[in-house]
Amino acid sequence: MPIIKSIRKILQRLLFQNYKLSLIDKDSLKEKQVSDFYGYHILSIIAYLFLTALIVSFFLFGFTFFKELLPDRGVIKNNKIIELMIKVDSLERDLILKREYINMIHRIVRGEVVENTNVVDSDSTVLVNRNDLKPSKHDSILRQEVIDADLYNIPVYKAQMTNSIEDFVFFKPVEGVIIDDFNINNKHYGLDIAAAQNSSVKSCLDGIVLFSDWSSSKGNVVIIQHIDNIVSTYMHNSILFKESGDLVKAGEVIGVVGNSGEQSTGPHLHFELWQNGSPINPSDYIDF
Ligand SMILES: [Zn+2]
């Protein structure tokens, strides 16, 4: 390998060549020898200087104020300051709590009434897991029940009193023939409708059963509350299917036509319609 050979040759010449350092007097041109040395002498002097510089700087930056000039020292110092600040903060909080606690003990010893003995001894910051905020299965079922109940709730009291009674479509309460008309003068506040035995009696509108019971004069009676302060009454039934508080739909069967009650002389339904406390002639709104 010629390259390696030539490098070795150059190195050999540099390291082992004899050099001579001399001074020549300008006037007399007399030569004065100062030093006589080889190439490797220079190399060892450079190595020595380098080592010395290394050791000096190590001690300089390691143990004197020069170490503050190193860039990384600043970051380490900041972290330490933050750490200390946190420590001081928690110590301060601890101190306040302890002071409160001692204060409370003092007050108890003096016989004073202490209302609150809860000394918060932990960080008030609570990490809330958002997933925990989902309603449980039990809760979801309850929520659905409430929503469903609300759907069928007859808004008797929160009714928007905007509908006129003409806007309602009434279900015929029974199939039959009117045998006695509505007559305020005779205090007959409804219609008497004769119907076949066992005909079903139906609610004229959606509503909630206010009353469902027997009375000696009117027999089995059902009274239903509807929206817009409308009330319907069904008398002389042979059987009642609904109880007070039951929700009913328009057209839903609530009883069976009968002849119950002292005022009844044959199977018929006495049907009344009231709004805002006044009787209404059902014939005006229902075709029989
Ligand atoms: Zn009647």
Determine the distance separating the centroid of ligand 1 and the alpha carbon of 254, expressed in angstroms.
18
Determine the distance separating the centroid of ligand 1 and the alpha carbon of 36, expressed in angstroms.
149
Determine the distance separating the centroid of ligand 1 and the alpha carbon of 37, expressed in angstroms.
146
Annotate 97-112 with b (16+ C-beta within 10 A) or e (fewer): eeeeeeeeeeeeeeee
Domain 165-284: give its CATH superfamily: Glucose Permease (Domain IIA) (2.70.70.10)
What's the confidence (pLDDT) of residue 157? 47
SS3 268: strand
Determine the distance separating the centroid of ligand 1 and the alpha carbon of 188, expressed in angstroms.
6
What's the confidence (pLDDT) of residue 202? 96
- How does the average pLDDT of the chain come out, rounded? 84
Q: What is the mean pLDDT of residues 113-142?
A: 63
- The dihedral through the CA atoms of 196, 200, 204, 210 has a sign that is positive
How many CA within 13 A on the CB side of residue 253?
Answer: 10
Determine the distance separating the centroid of ligand 1 and the alpha carbon of 98, expressed in angstroms.
84
What ranges do the domains of the chain cover? 2-63, 165-284
Around ion ligand 1, residues with a beta carbon closer than 5 Å are 192, 270
Assigned token pair, 270: 């006495």
What's the confidence (pLDDT) of residue 156? 47
What's the confidence (pLDDT) of residue 199? 93
Determine the distance separating the centroid of ligand 1 and the alpha carbon of 265, expressed in angstroms.
10
Q: What is the mean pLDDT of residues 49-57?
A: 94
Range scoring the smallest mean pLDDT among 71-85, 95-109, 178-192, 228-242: 71-85
What's the confidence (pLDDT) of residue 261? 86
Determine the distance separating the centroid of ligand 1 and the alpha carbon of 279, expressed in angstroms.
13
Q: What is the mean pLDDT of residues 93-109?
A: 89
Q: What is the mean pLDDT of residues 228-242?
A: 94
